[in-house]
Amino acid sequence: MTSTSPPKKKSWSWRSQAFRGLIYQLIAIVLIGLAVWFLAHNTLTNMKARGIQSGFDFLLGPAGFDIGESLYAFDSAQPYWQAFLVGLTNTLRIAVMGIVLTTILGTLIGVGRFSRNALVRGVCYAYVEFFRNVPVLLQLLMWYLLFTEGLPDSLDAWVIGPMFLSKGGLSFPIPVWASGHLWGLLGLLLGAVFAVLYRKWAYQQFEKTGVLKSMFWVPLGLLLATGVLGWLIGGAPSTFNAPIKGEFAIENGGSLTPEFLAVLVGLTIYTAAFVAEVVRSGIQSVARGQSEAASALGLNPSQSMRLVMLPQALRVIIPPMTNQFLNLTKNSSLAVAIGYPDVVSIANTSLNQTGRAVECIAIVMLVYLTTSLSTSLLMNWYNTRSAIKER
Amino acid sequence: MTATLFQPIAPRPAPVQHRGLIAWVRVNLFGDFVTSLMTLVIGGAILYWLPQLLSWGIFRASWAPNFDACRVEGVGACWGVVTEKYRIILFGRYPFEEQWRPLVATALMLGLLVASCMRAFWHAWLALLWALVLGVFFTLMYGGSLGLLKVETDRWGGLPLTLLLSTLSLTMAFPIALVVALGRRSNLPAIKTVCTIYVELIRGVPLISVLFMASFMFPLFMPEGFSIDVLIRVLVGITLFAAAYMAEVIRGGLQAIPKGQIEAAATLGLSYWQTQRKIVLPQALAMVVPSIMNNFISTFKDTSLVTIVSLYELTGALSLALNSDSDWRPFKIEGYLFIAAIYFVFCFSMSRYSGWVETQVNKSKLR
Amino acid sequence: MKLNTVKTLAAVVAAMGAVLAAPAHAGKTLDAIKARGQIVCGVNTGLAGFAAADSAGKWSGLDVDVCRALAAATLSDAEKVKYVPLNAQQRFTALQSGEVDVLARNTTFTLSRDASLGLTATTVNYYDGQGFMVPVKSKIKSAKQLKGQTVCVQSGTTTEKNLTDYSKANALNIKPVVFEKLEAAENAYFTGRCIAYTTDASGLSSTRAKVAKDPKEHIILPELISKEPLGPMVRRGDDEWTAIVKWVQFGLLEAEEYGVTQANVDQMKATSTDPVVQRLLGGGNEDTGKLLGLDKEWLARAIKTTGNYGESFERNVGPKSPLNLPRGLNNLWNKGGLMYAYPIR
């Protein structure tokens, strides 16, 4: 058999696929470039013709407006960029707390769909179907209405232990900062180090001897014990800034506004319905034999769920879960409809005080893009970490 | 040889009944201690709350369009707010005497949507039917011809607007999404980059910032004197938004087609477009129909955001109806529940339908 | 086939180039309005007395009257107005971008708005000041008692900044709850979320009269914490249109000063010997409209549509309306107010 080498490809031709591809790309780039230039040119001409000032220099000027709630003190004399920062922290506060709560609630409900109890199954099903089929904006408006209309006035607030719940929101005692708390924190930090070391040791023992040691309660105990010890060493400060009923409203203490509560509760409950579905399909993706094998090994249902089903389901769950987290973060922009000063609300106010519409909307988009991308990256990292390591 | 005495094994108890209500209850509600406890707790809660809810919502409710009747002590829900205001809620600020027009238009659109879901209608002429119905929809709503009074788009509202926004944006988003999805899988780096940037950019920002742009900044982008109706701008905004999400769904379908098929097609001498049209897309699209339905559901819900840019679709029409009327405003929650029910009916039936399609698709896969 | 595609593409590119190359035409708002046959007027989303639509979609109010008078003056038909309801933070972009021809939305004239937003203030049609409204049962008698309280306010207004300034100057540490929409802010106040609601005093009266369940349950505190000259704004760069908006308003003021009313405008035009009235109404050989690019009866039509400023005031916000606001600062200059029209001559 003689092997004939295939005819040599012509290195380059007008009719070659590569050339055509190049042309298509060129055309696409030119068209898009033209379109972008067209829009930018129009905007600039329009703004020039009407004497609209532009540029981001306004960010350095004093904001001149107060913000109803922020994690740290904000004064109206501070510049715009700090106001944006407050809005950003408010958005992130909702996003982070919402993601944590929605994961817990959603997982519970998703797992509940497999409960052996028909009532639990039914309740979880009804929950999912009701909450995911009503627009989130409507749900937020409803929650806000409930929080402002349903709760009593600040003056006859419901008293729950040291806390007050009223139209003014939830007021609760906060510890007055003292050096003792620092000691407590140091103790916690030390405890965390101990806990990690203990877990490592216990795991090694398990690999060596097969004796299972407590992997959860002992480290937790260590953590708490050192924390309390540190606090005691620091002199056990226990003054609290407790809320009290003032003349017109509740004063002192920490408080969560009804706007914050409505956004948080609304987003959590809405997103949890989707998370539940994600978890459910994840669990369903694990072969049925696995759970049967687990019970054959003598694991009880909760052990089988925790040790066998969930770790495998996680691989399927994580990518769609990331999407839900991103949705929650983006949906937090609807907070603007019920008066929570998130970054969109701050941008709207700034836009109006300064007239820099393009700039302010650009900032909002940038903020959300950055958060979205970084959440994606974080979850991707977690995804690769939790992917099955084939040995 | 030792003879062993026959030792009869004690008879086993009769098997537990597996069928029937009692057995079901025993297994599903009182299987073991934890299950029983949960049943008691949840059942107790339901028994406690449900009668109260029913009594509030039905037995003690006031249905008359009379707000004084709702203020009486002991009256539950005030559905009078719906019987009184339903026309504003459903049709927004559309002129009162002309409201048969949006009613007919909505009915037509609904009929079209239902028809499109039925297999008997899955023919090429369905597209024609769409064009026809959309034409009639616009003629009815806008008027100005056939002796109908002209009604500017800024007075459109309520359910027809919600339907229009969701249906049209999805229809227009589909071709864009298809092109972008193909572009993202293209070998040409520039096209791939452009499509990726578009999808990631849109998916990274919230819809309301897109709506803000479409609604208030769009004219700044255009040459002076060039203006488009705000409804169309919002529509374009939603379309571009929905297209990015749908492109990802379609891309998922494309990825699921084994590479061998594309190579086989190339071996047969099919060109790129022929391969896509005859081999890849038919399979990929069939696979993603349920996800596209989910897209439709979320777009349908997302249309509620246009209230923020002052278009009065269902959610906006409700605040229009109640905010300015101090007599009825205290009964807003009933109004919210009413439109929540409307949204629910639509979305729930769509998700059921998508579930049905999914089983159909899987069935064909099993064959 | 392929060649065709390329040709089409080339044509598209050429077309786009042509559009780009076209010189930027200095838009004449009046021409555009005439071509369109309609004035697009940005108004409040619903503030009784200033701009509010009834259930039939018919708009009325002091600001709406400005639009109607403008339509009557330029298009000879007061109904040829398209009303675009705008939020506080939507309004300036809508005007800048050309979405609306004139912004008659109880907007305060300030330096920064006049100088940096690409807008021009025309003339004031309502002198106002910012106040607070509280429920009677709160027993608050003065704005100084609002220490540490929550106050509902609409975002994107001068109100928001004034509140901050006032709170700072008096060390009140007021917590604003900021809402996107007027209705949302009002709702939040009436449900009891905030102890007080702040906006222009006229807005407070309007809200109290129209939105409150029982107007007697709410009081407006005596302090006015700012100056709020409200009036229509137009886009910068079209002086002709700015002049029309300005002079239609001056004309209506002048009409009040000289006793021309909706009822007697025809008669005055026919019989009056006062040269000022003749100039106003385009009687005899007087033609003030020509200078503005309008016809000679422009103002007569406007007066016939809305009545003079006093009539419009009385009908919309004055004693004949539920708002029942006193004329106060908005009286004519010769009756102790600030309304002083430039002479029409």
Q: Is the pLDDT reported for residue C9 higher than 50?
A: no
Rounded Cα–Cα distance for residues A324 and B348 (Å): 20
Rounded Cα–Cα distance for residues C152 and C163 (Å): 10
Contacts of C16 in chain A (CB under 8 A): 34-35, 38
Rounded Cα–Cα distance for residues B158 and B137 (Å): 15
Residue A252 to residues A172, A238, C171, Cα–Cα distance (Å): 9, 16, 17
Contacts of A117 in chain B (CB under 8 A): 28-29, 31, 35, 38-39, 42
In-domain check, residue A12 = no
Question: What pLDDT shows up at residue C14?
Answer: 46
Domain boundaries, chain B: 79-94+151-366
- Asked if B227 and C190 come within 8 Å (Cβ–Cβ), the reply is no
What are phi and psi for residue C68, nearest 5 degrees? -65, -40
In this predicted model, what pLDDT tens digit does every residue of A125-154 receive, in sequence order? 999 999 999 999 999 999 999 888 888 887
- Among C99, C181, C208, most B C-beta atoms within 10 A, so best to mutate, is C99
Q: Are the beta carbons of A87 and A347 closer than 8 angstroms?
A: yes
Amino acid identity, position C277: V
- Among A69, A78, A349, most C C-beta atoms within 10 A, so best to mutate, is A349
- Among C3, C45, C89, C160, most A C-beta atoms within 10 A, so best to mutate, is C89
Contacts of C86 in chain B (CB under 8 A): 310
Averaged pLDDT, B319-326: 77
Residue C86 to residues A236, A342, B161, B308, C100, Cα–Cα distance (Å): 57, 22, 19, 11, 10
Residue C96 to residues A49, A360, B226, B293, Cα–Cα distance (Å): 10, 15, 13, 40
Question: What pLDDT shows up at residue B301?
Answer: 93
- Asked if B216 and C55 come within 8 Å (Cβ–Cβ), the reply is no
Question: What pLDDT shows up at residue A353?
Answer: 81
Query: Which subunits sit against A, judged by 3+ Cβ pairs under 8 A?
Result: B, C
- Asked if B209 and A42 come within 8 Å (Cβ–Cβ), the reply is no
Contacts of B225 in chain C (CB under 8 A): 25, 27, 32, 98
A-C contacts at Cβ under 8 angstroms: 140
Question: What pLDDT shows up at residue B364?
Answer: 65
What are phi and psi for residue A79, nearest 5 degrees? -70, 165
Q: Is B343 on the interface with A (CB under 8 A)?
A: yes
- Give the CATH number of the domain where residue A381 resides: 1.10.3720.10
Residues A124 and A190 in one domain: no
Q: Closest by alpha carbon to C50, among C219, C231, C257? A: C231
In this predicted model, what pLDDT tens digit does every residue of B110-141 receive, in sequence order? 998 888 887 777 778 888 888 888 888 888 88
Residues A182 and A128 in one domain: no
Q: How far away is chain B from the Cα of C87, in angstroms, using its nearest Cα?
A: 8
Nearest residue in C to B152, CA atom? C82
Specify the number of domains making up chain A.
Answer: 2
State the residue for tokens 């020039």.
A48
CATH architecture of C129-228: 3-Layer(aba) Sandwich (3.40)
- Among B25, B27, B38, most A C-beta atoms within 10 A, so best to mutate, is B38
Q: Is the pLDDT reported for residue B242 higher than 90?
A: yes
What are phi and psi for residue B218, nearest 5 degrees? -50, -45
Residues A362 and A298 in one domain: yes
Looking at chain C, the number of H-run helices and the number of E-run strands are: 14, 13
Residue C307: which residues within 8 A CB-CB, separation 6 or more? C261, C262, C315
Residues A160 and A221 in one domain: no
- Asked if B304 and A135 come within 8 Å (Cβ–Cβ), the reply is yes
Rounded Cα–Cα distance for residues A64 and A75 (Å): 8
First-to-last alpha carbon distance for chain C, in angstroms, is 69
Neighbouring C-beta atoms of residue C147, cutoff 10 Å? 16
- Asked if B207 and A330 come within 8 Å (Cβ–Cβ), the reply is yes
Q: Which CATH class is domain B79-94+151-366?
A: mainly alpha
In this predicted model, what pLDDT tens digit does every residue of C118-134 receive, in sequence order? 889 999 999 999 999 99
Segments in C148-198 forming alpha helices (H): 158-169, 182-190
Question: What pLDDT shows up at residue C230?
Answer: 94
Rounded Cα–Cα distance for residues B212 and C97 (Å): 13
A181 HSE (CA, 13 A, CB side): 8
Residues A169 and A218 in one domain: no
B328 HSE (CA, 13 A, CB side): 23
Residue A208: which residues within 8 A CB-CB, separation 6 or more? none
Q: Is B302 on the interface with A (CB under 8 A)?
A: yes
Burial class (CB in 10 A: 0-12, 13-18, 19+), A211: exposed
Using CB atoms, pick whichever of A32, A43, A365 lies closest to residue B221: A43
Task: Please name the residues between 103 and 132 in chain B that touch chain C, using a CB distance below 8 Å.
Answer: none
- Asked if A29 and B297 come within 8 Å (Cβ–Cβ), the reply is no
C279 falls in which pLDDT band (50, 70, 90)? confident
> What's chain B's average pLDDT?
84
- Asked if A344 and B208 come within 8 Å (Cβ–Cβ), the reply is yes
Question: What pLDDT shows up at residue C24?
Answer: 35
Question: What pLDDT shows up at residue C21?
Answer: 38
Query: Which subunits sit against C, judged by 3+ Cβ pairs under 8 A?
Result: A, B
Nearest residue in B to A331, CA atom? B206
Q: Closest by alpha carbon to C303, among C326, C282, C328? A: C282
Q: Are the beta carbons of B303 and B162 closer than 8 angstroms?
A: yes
- Asked if A365 and B347 come within 8 Å (Cβ–Cβ), the reply is no
Amino acid identity, position C72: A
Using CB atoms, pick whichever of B222, B305, B333 lies closest to residue A142: B333
Q: Is the pLDDT reported for residue C19 higher than 60?
A: no
Question: What pLDDT shows up at residue B283?
Answer: 84
| DSSP characters over B140-190 | HHH-SSTTPPP--GGG--HHHHHHHHHHHHHHHHHHHHHHHHHHHT-S-HH
Contacts of A358 in chain C (CB under 8 A): none
Residues A200 and A96 in one domain: no
Residue A119: which residues within 8 A CB-CB, separation 6 or more? B29, B38, B39, B42, B43, B46
| C329 DSSP assignment | G
Q: How far away is chain C from the Cα of B292, in angstroms, using its nearest Cα?
A: 31
Contacts of A145 in chain C (CB under 8 A): 191
Residues A126 and A187 in one domain: no
Contacts of A337 in chain C (CB under 8 A): 180-181, 184
Task: Tell me the two tokens of residue C18.
Answer: 């042509």
B37 falls in which pLDDT band (50, 70, 90)? confident
Nearest residue in C to B307, CA atom? C181
Q: How far away is chain A from the Cα of B343, in angstroms, using its nearest Cα?
A: 6
- Which residue range(s) make up the domain with A165? 80-176+247-386
Q: Is the pLDDT reported for residue B28 higher than 90?
A: no
- Asked if C178 and A68 come within 8 Å (Cβ–Cβ), the reply is yes
Question: What pLDDT shows up at residue A179?
Answer: 77
The strand pairing partners of B62, in sequence order, are B78
In-domain check, residue A221 = yes
Task: Please name the residues between 64 and 103 in chain A that touch chain C, using a CB distance below 8 Å.
Answer: 64-69, 76
Contacts of C183 in chain B (CB under 8 A): 319, 323-324
Q: How far away is chain C from the Cα of A100, in angstroms, using its nearest Cα?
A: 26
- Asked if A119 and B43 come within 8 Å (Cβ–Cβ), the reply is yes
Handedness of CA C36, C37, C41, C45 (dihedral sign): negative
DSSP, collapsed to helix, strand or coil, labels residue C127 as strand
What are phi and psi for residue A174, nearest 5 degrees? -125, 145
Q: Is C8 on the interface with A (CB under 8 A)?
A: no
Q: Are the beta carbons of B99 and B91 closer than 8 angstroms?
A: yes
Using CB atoms, pick whichever of C52, C87, C93 lies closest to residue B310: C87
Contacts of A364 in chain B (CB under 8 A): 205, 209
Question: What pLDDT shows up at residue A10?
Answer: 55
Query: Mean pLDDT of residues grouped by 10 in chain A (391 residues)?
Result: 56 71 86 90 82 82 84 85 93 93 94 87 93 94 89 80 82 79 85 87 81 75 85 78 72 82 95 93 84 86 80 82 89 89 89 83 91 82 69 51
- Among B88, B326, B333, most C C-beta atoms within 10 A, so best to mutate, is B326
Q: Is C22 on the interface with B (CB under 8 A)?
A: yes
Top-ranked range on mean pLDDT: pick from A39-43, A270-274, C23-27, C211-215: A270-274
B225 falls in which pLDDT band (50, 70, 90)? low
Segments in chain A forming alpha helices (H): 17-49, 80-112, 118-132, 136-145, 179-209, 217-233, 258-285, 288-296, 301-303, 310-331, 343-354, 357-386
Q: Is B332 on the interface with A (CB under 8 A)?
A: yes
Q: Is the pLDDT reported for residue B365 higher than 70?
A: no
Question: What pLDDT shows up at residue A139?
Answer: 94
Residues A363 and A299 in one domain: yes
A-B contacts at Cβ under 8 angstroms: 144
Question: What pLDDT shows up at residue A143?
Answer: 93
In-domain check, residue A229 = yes
Averaged pLDDT, B101-105: 90
Question: What pLDDT shows up at residue A88?
Answer: 93
Rounded Cα–Cα distance for residues C10 and C152 (Å): 57
Q: Is the pLDDT reported for residue B11 higher than 60?
A: yes
Q: How far away is chain A from the Cα of B309, in angstroms, using its nearest Cα?
A: 11
Averaged pLDDT, B250-277: 87
Query: Which subunits sit against B, judged by 3+ Cβ pairs under 8 A?
Result: A, C
Neighbouring C-beta atoms of residue A15, cutoff 10 Å? 7
State the residue for tokens 């008027």.
B143
Contacts of A344 in chain B (CB under 8 A): 206, 208-209
Tell me which of A238, A258, A284 is where a domain ends.
A238
Percent pLDDT > 90 in chain C is: 41
Q: Is the pLDDT reported for residue C8 higher than 70?
A: no
C12 falls in which pLDDT band (50, 70, 90)? very low
Rounded Cα–Cα distance for residues A163 and A315 (Å): 41
Residues A185 and A94 in one domain: no
**∠ CA(C136), CA(C138), CA(C142), 5° rounding?**
80
Nearest residue in C to A146, CA atom? C191
Q: How far away is chain C from the Cα of A9, in angstroms, using its nearest Cα?
A: 24
Amino acid identity, position B51: P
B87 falls in which pLDDT band (50, 70, 90)? confident
- Among C7, C9, C117, most A C-beta atoms within 10 A, so best to mutate, is C117
Q: Is the pLDDT reported for residue B239 higher than 90?
A: yes
